[in-house]
């Protein structure tokens, strides 16, 4: 097989160098992320705050019903619900958008030489921007229903959030490669995230399940642990040690797997697109 012309090749570098150099190119991927957010809400009056308004309406509607279903006080259930939802939206949106990471930039991949990881960093950055908009809903709910939840303990959520964002990068790269090579996987991932929303303790408290069900949907659910390391500090609690250890293990295993596949198939991305 003849080598592709230079315009079709990524920069001559290793997978690790791609990831490190891409991370260092903050100006580029930050600009791409901001650009995507602006384009998404172009010609709207309040821009990304539409997502904030939609979330607020959703949380108030579901929260009023959920508090009665789970026999929880509204003052504690609403902060629990909204803190879980904003973390879930961050994670699930990254996963779903990762499926089109390389599909949407097919023309760019074929004509320009650049570090592919920049696209992953831009994706995670733009979703972090939306997360900050969603955070307004959480602050508003706490100010009205649970002012005591707003304290310095919330800063403990920052390390957990950084872990979630770090996982978002490898998820973007791995899902982007897999969905680029096997287009049907995108539908499978979309269906999975829809189901995972209801089997993960976001709407319902973990203590509502007992026995084998609790072990399956709570203790063995990696999504719960990733949410817990951010949500618990936001509620004035310390994350469970099991959640912290699980999140660290997921990060290490995920990055190891991604580096392996990125090293092996990185040069084929332009062909697959």
Give, to the nearest 10 degrees, the angle between helix 117-145 and helix 157-181. 140
What tokens were used for 11?
A: 């920069």
Question: What would the pLDDT profile of 18-39 be if each residue is shown by its tens digit?
Answer: 999 999 999 999 998 988 888 8
Distance in angstroms (rounded) separating the CA atoms of residues 199 and 47: 32
- The CA distance from 125 to 128, in Å, is 5
Helix axes 49-69, 74-98, angle to 10 degrees: 130
> At residue 230, does pLDDT exceed 60?
yes
pLDDT value for 152: 79
Tokens of 178: 């897999």
Cα–Cα distance, 77 to 66 (Å, whole number):
8
Residue extents of the structural domains in the chain = 7-272
CA 133, CA 50: separation in Å to the nearest integer?
Answer: 9
Residues of the chain with pLDDT > 70, as a percent, come to: 91
* Lowest-confidence segment of 161-165, 177-181, 254-258, 267-271 by average pLDDT: 267-271
Better pLDDT: 4 or 225: 225
**Tens-place pLDDT, residues 50-108:** 788 889 999 989 998 988 888 888 888 999 999 999 999 999 999 999 999 988 766 66
């Amino acid at each position: 097989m003849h080598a592709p012309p230079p315009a079709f090749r990524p920069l001559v570098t290793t997978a690790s160098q791609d990831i490190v150099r891409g991370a260092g190119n903050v100006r580029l991927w930050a600009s791409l992320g901001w650009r995507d957010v602006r384009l998404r809400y172009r010609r709207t009056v309040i821009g990304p705050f539409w997502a904030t308004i939609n979330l607020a309406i959703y949380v108030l509607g579901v929260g009023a019903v959920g508090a009665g279903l789970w026999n929880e006080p509204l003052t504690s259930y609403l902060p629990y619900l909204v803190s879980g939802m904003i973390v879930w939206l961050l994670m699930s949106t990254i996963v779903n958008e990762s499926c089109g990471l390389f599909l949407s930039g097919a023309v760019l991949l074929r004509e320009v030489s650049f570090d592919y990881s920049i696209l992953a960093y831009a994706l995670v950055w733009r979703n972090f921007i939306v997360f900050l908009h969603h955070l307004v809903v959480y602050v508003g709910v706490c100010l009205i229903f649970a002012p005591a939840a707003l304290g310095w303990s919330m800063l403990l959520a920052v390390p957990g959030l950084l872990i979630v964002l770090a996982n978002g990068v490898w998820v973007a790269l791995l899902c982007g490669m897999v969905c680029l090579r096997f287009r049907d996987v995108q539908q499978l991932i979309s269906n999975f995230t829809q189901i995972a929303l209801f089997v993960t303790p976001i709407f319902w408290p973990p203590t509502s399940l007992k026995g084998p069900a609790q072990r399956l949907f709570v203790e063995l659910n990696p999504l719960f642990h990733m949410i817990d390391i951010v949500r618990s500090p936001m509620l004035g609690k310390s994350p469970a040690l099991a959640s912290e250890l699980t999140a660290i293990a997921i990060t290490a295993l995920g990055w190891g797997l991604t580096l392996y596949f990125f090293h092996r198939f990185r040069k084929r991305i332009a062909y697959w697109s």
